[in-house]
Structure 1
Amino acid sequence: MNRARLLVFNAALGALDYRVPEGMAIEPGSVVVAPLGPRQIVGVVWDAERLPTKDVPDSKLRPLLEALPVPPLPAPLRRLIEWAADYYVAPLSSVARMALGSSAALRGGGTTTEYRLTGEEPKRITPQRAAAMDALHGEQATIRELAEIASVSEGVLRGMVGAGLLEPVVVDIDRPYPRARADFAAPTLSEDQQAAADMFVAAVEAKKFAPFLLDGVTGSGKTEVYFEGVAAALAEGRQVLVLLPEIALTENFLRRFEARFGVSPVLWHSSLKASERRRAWRAIVSGDAQVVVGARSALFMPYARLGLIVVDEAHETSFKQDDGVRYNARDVAVIRARFEGVPVILASATPALESMHLADTGVYQRIVLPDRFGGAKLPDISIVDLREEQPERGRWLAPRLVEELKARLERGEQSLLFLNRRGYAPLTLCRHCGYRFQCPNCTAWLVEHRLSRRLACHHCGHEVPVPAACPECATPDCLVACGPGVERIADEVAEIMPGARVALVTSDTLNSPEKIGEFVAAAEGKLIDVIVGTQLVTKGYHFPDLTLVGVVDADLGLEGGDLRAAERTYQQVAQVAGRAGRGEKPGEVLIQTRHPTAAVIDALAKGDRDAFYAAETEARRDAGAPPFGRWAAIIVSSEDEAEARDAARAIGGKAPNLPDVLILGPAPAPMSLLRGRYRYRLLINARRSAEVQKIVREWLGLFDFPQGVRVNVDIDPYSFV
């Protein structure tokens, strides 16, 4: 080919044509360097017939400069990128950018220099160097990465190199990963597990698209079952992708994976160091990475020989990205499996209603594991009606829950208290004048964090120290915390049971794989009596001596305008309840609520999941909500409130009038100010027959918005703030 059509990573430019110099070998999917004005840019050669652009005569084409030494993006991945851009109404270049996860990796292998502590004890040391040495114990990375880890300047670290405290280490970028063995430690499975595993193995060996919903109660051994599908792919020399919703889950997963296959898998997530991302990406594209475990961004990597995709905890809403390309990794994983011609397994104890519907209609093959592995029983669930069993004044745990906590402590058993609210208190106000601490950038209260002595916004990250006096009336010692967060519950447990060893588990306290590993080891070693945590503890963990789970506020998730609130509450509470009684000792769950007759609370108490799903399905059908209808949102934002309002009104003024489409709004978003931008929303509710994406594209194509206005489209939204 002597002419190439390039997809460049700038949505405003569109596709660009270039001349291919003689002797340069390229094909669709090749990653190349091209001139653009005085600059050089990276682009991907695309199928010309699938990417229209203006016709430019051959004589005016500039030549490509270089073909980068990486394999071309395979055709199935290019089709996936096109599908995702079309379905989520996103620029093709924004989706394609996710496939090139490490720009440094595009330049080929070689070596890089990293640094580590030498172990030398300095005779004299500055406070900054002392802090760096404490933070960098066991770390090896570039100077820039070590500076971020240690929270010091690069100059401090370069001085430590000169003083002999840090030493350089030359690292091979493309050093191979240890090889996983399919037969390393084959497990003994129950009859139900073996039947499910056999189906996965057969599907992998058939090398055809086959979507499965692995629906197993908590503790039924879903991971061990799909590991047999992973083993089959390894035996065939194929690659496997396992998606996890939270980085926090990887530590526990890695231990189980290593026990089964002898080595750890290759990781892909946002917390990797640049050198780790570079090495992982190159192993993925070469096919040397056998099993990749990662967050949703791992879905768009250019795998050389993909043989199986697994989405663990597939119900999790964190698989839906809420900025940039607003895709749902669970759904896109199924589409990628279809393009690649491989099986995909969605595993969950509480599947999403949409997944259940697809299984009921025969699109997915549903495989059920109804019992816990090894004879363990599901926990008994009781409701604590807070209207009748009121906690003591100033406290949040009802007397019955307190009694059960004390009983577990006396027996040497572990308890878990769940409250999905970080910090000490969600609101701080002045008892003298009523002043409330609000984020200046968001429509949100500042949350008190007593451990760090800060007031923080959980939406934009804004933080201020807790003041000694009210900023409004200047009265000292007048601030009062309203409502509980997990820090406050942990304090209450410490007051009630002074001898209990309490672990606080949130994204604030477990913010690295090392800290997560320390927590798991402490819990398994019986060094923790009571775990107090957010949704971070609702899934993935297996502590045999944990026999009591207390849900502090089951009503919390039902507040606000979330159209999936009941389903999400059911999933969270059922998942955290599943942490109890996973060993030989029976488990018990106490759910504190002020609405015991609510359908979701009643279903949890009775353990009647099918009845809850049936009722929720009918409610969705009546409302024309997914999976029976379509939702899409248009979010308009600007730093200028009037500009945002005017743009939203203009969009609403030209809303299409179609018989199968209902358009609501524009209206100020519930979170009307977020990260310094004023926000308005329109919600589209359409029948399944409506071509929502086409309607939205043509509708928004009528406008040329001011530079300060952003208009984002969210297909199948999960967040309504």
Structure 2
Amino acid sequence: MQRARLLIFNAALGPLDYRVPDGMEVQAGSVVVAPLGPRQIIGIVWDPERMPSETVPDAKLRPLIGLLPVPPLKPELMRLIEWTADYYCASMAAVARMVITSGGALKGPATMTEYRLTGGMPERMTPQRQAAMEALEGEQATIRELAGIAGVSEGVLRGLVNQGVLEPVEVDCDRPYPRARADFDEPRLSDDQREAADRFVAAVKAHDFAPFLLDGVTGSGKTETYFEAIAAAIEEDRQVLVLLPEIALTEAFLKRFEDRFGTAPVLWHSSLKSTERRRAWRAISSGEAQVVVGARSALFLPYANLGLIVVDEAHEVSFKQDDGVRYNARDVAVMRAHFERIPVILASATPALESLAMADQGIYEKLVLPSRFGGAQLPTIETVDLTKEKPPSQHWLAPPLVEALKDRLERGEQSLLFLNRRGYAPLTLCRHCGYRFKCPHCSAWLVEHRLSQRLACHHCGLETSPPDTCPECGESDCLVACGPGVERIADEVAEILPDARVAVVTSDTLNSPEKAAEFIAQAEGGAIDVIVGTQLVTKGFHFPELTLVGVVDADLGLEGGDLRAAERTYQQVAQVAGRAGRGSKPGEVLIQTRHPEAAVIAALAAGDRDAFYEAETEARRHAGAPPFGRWAAIIVSSEDDAEAREAANRIGATRPMLDDVQILGPAPAPMALLRGRYRYRLLINARRSANVQDVIRQWLGALNHPPGVRVGVDIDPYSFV
């Protein structure tokens, strides 16, 4: 009798054994339906030797119900699931759930009904019908999607269906994507680009693991360089995965991709509709999808014939998942390439120290693009000392930056102001009694958003309308905004330059690919004079007429308890500085700071990246911090503060005493209350030789906690709040 051991998506139950009915053929990686009590569950058949469990007698085994019509997971992907679970101290069930992300994709071939105009006219024309018919010319989609395109209700469109103006069309849910052509528009590359591209192409054709660090200054043409590797993979009929850190970046990338290869790539991100996810998942698993561009979750999709992985802006913190399975997509991408025996390219103008260390050790092959493409020059960078060049009261732009903004407006050039703080003001208080508006669920102030007229918590998503009176003292008209966010800076620009066309660019305003495309079109078309934005504008955008970048508060990133604060500040400011002067006109960067002597600010002003990285590297080496040591965090939380504190103290009291592992804490987390849960943290600092994961598993595995307590493990943490 044949048995099958299943990995199911419930970590509490562990692996389960089933009987394979006569006539059903399963293998490791098959996705099956199995009974569990009165329910039916989905599971993945696993090699019993790689997932040990107690052996259940044959007589007690229940039969599998069915085999789902999708290809079995490849051994390489199954090894990645095992490695990710082991390295990040997560359950295999939680990792596997990221692979099976589209329930609809598991049901096999299917059709759906879309609608298109017939050319007929309705018996009675209304303004809404007229507007809908004009907007839907040449469109074909579902009623809901057409309603969104036309800006009318679904009822209006159903009326047009009844009138014969719209006709139904049965379409295959899994219809093929247009094919990309490697030779559609071959670019002209510089000598440096050609040298790097040739190396990438050779690695793709070698069909072996080859990790690369593509280190190129902003505007050096890194994208065009790795496009040649993508072209080589397409020619060999192999799949490519390109990871981008932000959905908003995909629109600019898609345009460049389509110009080069003649069609858009397959997209994968959280904003996709369920039908789009289903179609993409099935095309990826069948091998029909050639190039996939997506967020970090695209890394775990079941590619049939993967030939290349590219991680663009590889230094970005957003590649690190902060809840659930706390993985770093940059590092997992390297491991997936290792298991698949394919090249992986980490591209960045400001690589992470860990990546540079791997290159210095010869583990990654480093390729450098030292100059901008097409003769464009790097911008000049100057600091503005805010202790000497003070802005007027209740203003945040110093006189030199104001003059530079006026100058660019007169010359018809664009400017960008960077402040990594969303909303209008980070704090609102009562001028009468001093009451501060705080989130009831988090240790955070509510941020005023004047564009949406809301007070919002950026940690739990709570939103509320600003009250007419102070909730503490009852005074009316007494609320005061403290400090600047991007909306307040935009108001200041409008006051200084009343004729300027200003765009506020944050994750609040560019919260969909469509809005991102609209912003790019306006900026490229010259419809925007001044862009005011957060870290969203620091990367990926190429506006030739943008010649001035102003960093409103360069010291902001150096505040708080971030152990990578200096590196992150350098990366952010260097990236946003790189938006200036990317065309034929020279660029200028003004960095406002109260600490021009700080090492990171001085390095930015001098344009001396190597000096900053050397100093930061030595500081990390002295502290035993990554890449010379290991960090891990244990986060204990509960809705009851005393319960969380007691659990954290119990964990701290049973800490292992090891020569190569130092354990700090427990202590209240900087964000001591988050989404209604009280939080305590322990930080582990270990030598590279220590097996931190085994230490943590043995330590925490011996403890039991009340049901309300959650204990999370974060290996290689980036957030320390």
If the length of structure 1 is used for normalisation, what is the TM-score?
0.96
1:170-224 Cα shifts (integer Å, max 9, x gaps): 3311100000011111101011100000000000000000000000000000000
Q: Secondary structure at the match of 2:547?
A: strand
Q: Secondary structure at the match of 1:50?
A: coil
**Change over 3 Å in CA distance of 1:43–1:118 after alignment to 2:** farther
Aligned to 2:342: 342
| Equivalent AA in structure 2 for residue 411 of structure 1 | R
Q: CA offset at residue 164 of structure 1? A: 8.2
| Equivalent AA in structure 2 for residue 642 of structure 1 | A
**Aligned CA-pair RMSD:** 2.5
Moved more, 435-444 or 153-162: 153-162
Aligned 8 A contact 2:421 2:486 in 1: yes
**Change over 3 Å in CA distance of 1:646–1:99 after alignment to 2:** same
| Equivalent AA in structure 2 for residue 718 of structure 1 | Y
Aligned to 1:393: 393
Aligned to 2:465: 465
5 Å-filtered alignment, 1:404-553, equals 404-553=404-553
Aligned 8 A contact 2:122 2:164 in 1: no
1:324 matched to 2:353? The reply is no
Aligned to 2:189: 189
1:688 matched to 2:682? The reply is no
Moved more, 251-260 or 168-177: 168-177
Aligned to 1:201: 201
Q: Secondary structure at the match of 1:201?
A: helix
| Equivalent AA in structure 2 for residue 598 of structure 1 | A
Structure 2 gaps of 5+ residues are none
Aligned to 2:643: 643
**Change over 3 Å in CA distance of 1:492–1:590 after alignment to 2:** same
1:100 matched to 2:100? The reply is yes
Q: How far apart in 2 are the matches of 1:152 and 1:441?
A: 38
Aligned to 2:373: 373
Moved more, 386-395 or 164-173: 164-173
5 Å-filtered alignment, 1:168-317, equals 168-317=168-317
Q: Tell me the number of residue pairs that the alignment of Structure 1 and Structure 2 aligns.
A: 720
Aligned 8 A contact 1:141 1:273 in 2: no
Moved more, 168-177 or 588-597: 168-177
5 Å-filtered alignment, 1:12-161, equals 12-114=12-114
Q: How far apart in 2 are the matches of 1:433 and 1:166?
A: 62
Aligned 8 A contact 1:145 1:273 in 2: no
| Equivalent AA in structure 1 for residue 636 of structure 2 | V
Aligned to 1:579: 579
Aligned 8 A contact 1:122 1:165 in 2: no
Aligned to 2:629: 629
Moved more, 114-123 or 94-103: 114-123
Q: CA offset at residue 592 of structure 1? A: 0.2
1:88-145 Cα shifts (integer Å, max 9, x gaps): 0000011011111211101111202356899988979999x99999999999766788
Q: How far apart in 1 are the matches of 2:28 and 2:404?
A: 64
Q: How far apart in 1 are the matches of 2:707 and 2:125?
A: 55
Aligned 8 A contact 2:109 2:173 in 1: yes
Q: CA offset at residue 393 of structure 1? A: 1.2
Aligned residues: percent identity?
77
Aligned to 1:713: 713
Q: Secondary structure at the match of 2:487?
A: helix
Aligned to 1:595: 595
Aligned 8 A contact 2:122 2:160 in 1: no
| Equivalent AA in structure 2 for residue 70 of structure 1 | V
Aligned 8 A contact 2:424 2:484 in 1: yes
1:5-52 Cα shifts (integer Å, max 9, x gaps): 100000011001111111111110000001111111000000111001
Q: How far apart in 2 are the matches of 1:449 and 1:496?
A: 21
**Change over 3 Å in CA distance of 1:112–1:370 after alignment to 2:** same
**Change over 3 Å in CA distance of 1:172–1:661 after alignment to 2:** same
Q: How far apart in 2 are the matches of 1:428 and 1:142?
A: 44
Q: CA offset at residue 162 of structure 1? A: 7.0
| Equivalent AA in structure 1 for residue 705 of structure 2 | F
Aligned 8 A contact 1:313 1:349 in 2: yes
1:365-398 Cα shifts (integer Å, max 9, x gaps): 0000000000000000000000000001111000
1:211-244 Cα shifts (integer Å, max 9, x gaps): 0000000000000000000000011110000000
Q: How far apart in 1 are the matches of 2:667 and 2:113?
A: 54
Structure 1 gaps of 5+ residues are none
Q: How far apart in 1 are the matches of 2:709 and 2:683?
A: 18
Q: Secondary structure at the match of 1:49?
A: coil
Q: Secondary structure at the match of 1:637?
A: strand
**Change over 3 Å in CA distance of 1:142–1:719 after alignment to 2:** farther
Q: How far apart in 2 are the matches of 1:333 and 1:567?
A: 22
Q: How far apart in 2 are the matches of 1:438 and 1:60?
A: 56
Aligned 8 A contact 1:180 1:290 in 2: yes
Q: How far apart in 1 are the matches of 2:200 and 2:446?
A: 48
1:703 matched to 2:700? The reply is no
Moved more, 190-199 or 161-170: 161-170
**Change over 3 Å in CA distance of 1:115–1:643 after alignment to 2:** farther
**Change over 3 Å in CA distance of 1:148–1:407 after alignment to 2:** closer
Q: CA offset at residue 684 of structure 1? A: 0.6
If the length of structure 2 is used for normalisation, what is the TM-score?
0.96
Q: How far apart in 2 are the matches of 1:249 and 1:563?
A: 27
1:51-81 Cα shifts (integer Å, max 9, x gaps): 0111111121111111111100000000000
